[in-house]
Amino acid sequence: MSLFGTLGTATGGMSANELALQTSSHNIANTNTDGYSRQRVHLETQLPYHMAGVGEIGTGVKASSVDRIVDSFVQSQVRTANGTYNNYTQKSDVLGQLESLFNEPSNNGVISQMNTMFDNWTNLANNPDMATAKTLVVQNSSTLTNSINQLANNMDKLSDNTLTSITKNALDFNSKISQLADVNKQIFTASVGGTSPNDLLDRRDTLLKDLSGITDIGATFDANGRATVTLSGQTVLDGSDPTKQPLTMAVVKDADNVYAATSDVNTTTALATTNTQVGQVVLVDASGQATGPVGSDGQIKGLQAAMGDIATRRGQLNDLAYQIGKQINSALAPSNGQQQFYTLPGKTDASSKFTTYDANYDYAQNLKVNADLVNNAQTLKVGADSTSPAGDGTLAFNIARLANTKDDEGLTFSDHYNTMVTQNGIVKQQADNKSSAQLALLNQLEYKNEAVSGVSINEEMSDVIRFQQGFQANARIISVVSEMLDTLINRTGV
């Protein structure tokens, strides 16, 4: 091997160490970059040449690739844990808001107002001809119905806000799928050009993690690193076919309309779907055809579960309002005739609504004390019948006893409301516990992923010194060879 061969070997060593030093610099610069995976230059020996009588002679080093240091299995686990964590976190957050609406226990909550109302009926039973006693019954009964009306209205608003949050998540999902499709194209362009698109692959993995927080996705990768995303067994993004448009998410508003979730959270489009459950997510293809419901984890699932819980509590409140109206109206009927204590404003068939429960009617939103009684409480009669003498408070006494009367389920009015509040508290606590447990698991996986892919400043600085010395040593060889060539050419006369 000639001196020129040695010169080439040293030059290659300088280039390899320079590239490794540049990669360490890139790692250090991205120490605090979210989603960045550290990179390493893979060095390997050059092909040797054979010298007769001697054997294989080395020809130096070459940088064969710049590799991302990742553990794809851990990253997959992180995505799964991230989806479950976001599911319970979102559910807990919404149920926490519902808990604050109940405002129990408190001095001005529904239960306190209900107790005050029944105390007023007891006072009226003892003083049936006292004008103040009748006024207190009517006014405090109105206060109770106003609270029930307001609670129902606030629960509806919370449900609507939750639906908007689902649509925002769908909008975010569609945006990130579009970004991922663009990243796939860039990855392919870089890969076929013979380079390793490490930073693009980091961007791909970050988008996949974000998507996993929204809903339960599956991800596979082709030989070039392009991601294919599936959801509930359906291919949302086909990484191997860039000409195929990704599916988009839409959120069901009713049987014939969905929130498109492609430009904002309010735009609806007429789209018939077999699924009529409000808040459910469907996928829409390029031709506008909707699929069945999708998703089993992530923020969307947590919000959907919370909407279901709100609907359950709303139904319980509706039933409570119906029972209050029905039983008190029935108790007062013997002496008040057609004048009902509780009415449903705007309903000509209000009396029949209290006779048979109408599952499609909103009692909690509409229950009111009769306006005639509010204007003149003295027309209220509480005697056993219309011919009862003054001082008869039989019906008021019967209503006062309703406070402690148990129904077929063994529950009083207060018990029913307490059950609503308690059930919500239990479900929220379960969500809190699962969220905390999942956060601990997610943190553990994140630490594990960071241990593999994270940048260590100490390690990088050690590498900087190592590659610097390697570069300088190879530069010194070049200097020595240069002196040897000078001797050979200029001093030997060759």
Q: Give the model confidence (pLDDT) of 48-89 as tens digits.
A: 877 777 878 878 888 888 999 999 999 999 999 999 999 999
Q: What is the DSSP letter of 46?
A: P
Q: Which of 51-60, 74-83, 280-289, 368-377 has the lowest mean pLDDT?
A: 51-60
Identify whether the C-beta of residue 39 lies closer than 8 Å to the C-beta of residue 23.
Answer: yes
Q: What is the mean pLDDT of residues 104-132?
A: 92
Q: In this predicted model, what pLDDT tens digit does every residue of 201-242 receive, in sequence order? A: 999 999 999 999 999 999 999 999 999 999 988 999 999 998
Angle 107-108-112 from CA coordinates, rounded to 5°: 70
Report DSSP state, residue 379.
G
> Which pLDDT score, from 0 to 100, does residue 177 have?
96
- What tens digit of pLDDT does each residue of 415-458 get? 999 999 999 999 999 999 999 999 999 999 999 999 999 999 99
DSSP letter at 487 equals I
Q: What is the pLDDT of residue 493?
A: 59
Q: Report pLDDT for 8.
A: 81
Residues 6+ apart with CB under 8 A from 494: 488
pLDDT in tens, 331-356: 998 887 778 899 998 887 778 888 88
- The strand pairing partners of 235, in sequence order, are 230
Task: Give yes or no for a contact between 154 and 100, defined as CB atoms under 8 angstroms apart.
Answer: no
Q: What is the pLDDT of residue 139?
A: 96
- Token output for 340: 């009902």
Would you state the structure tokens that stand for residue 438, as one six-digit string?
């999942």
Query: What DSSP state is assigned to residue 253?
Result: E
d(CA 31, CA 201): 17
> Which is more confident, 318 or 384?
318
Mean pLDDT of 141-148: 96
Quick check: 375 and 394 in contact, CB under 8 A? no
Residues of the chain with pLDDT > 90: what percent?
64
Domain ranges of the chain: 3-69+454-491, 105-425
How far apart (Å, rounded) are the C-alpha atoms in residues 358 and 348?
A: 14
- Return d(Cα 83, Cα 490) in angstroms, integer: 73
Average pLDDT over residues 164-169: 95
Q: What is the pLDDT of residue 275?
A: 66
Average pLDDT over the chain, rounded to an integer: 90
CA angle (118, 121, 126) in 5-degree steps? 135
For the ranges 6-15, 92-101, 408-417, which has the lowest average pLDDT? 6-15
What pLDDT was estimated at residue 245? 92
Lowest-pLDDT range of 133-137, 334-338, 373-377: 334-338
Query: How confident is the model over 299-314, as a mean pLDDT?
Result: 96
> What pLDDT does 106 receive?
84
pLDDT of residue 1: 54
Residue 399 has pLDDT above 90, yes or no: yes
Q: Which residues 6+ apart lie within 8 Å of 14 measured at CB?
A: 471, 474, 475, 478
Q: Is 227 helix (H, G, I), strand (E, B) or coil?
A: strand
Where helices occur in 265-297 by DSSP H, the ranges are none
Bigger pLDDT: 191 vs 90: 90
Q: Where are the beta strands (DSSP E) in 382-463?
A: none
Residue 273: per-residue pLDDT: 66
Nearest residue to 239 via CA among 221, 257, 256, 259: 221
**For the chain, what percent of residues have pLDDT higher than 70?**
98
User: Which tokens in the block code for residue 44?
Assistant: 């390997």
Residue 195: per-residue pLDDT: 80
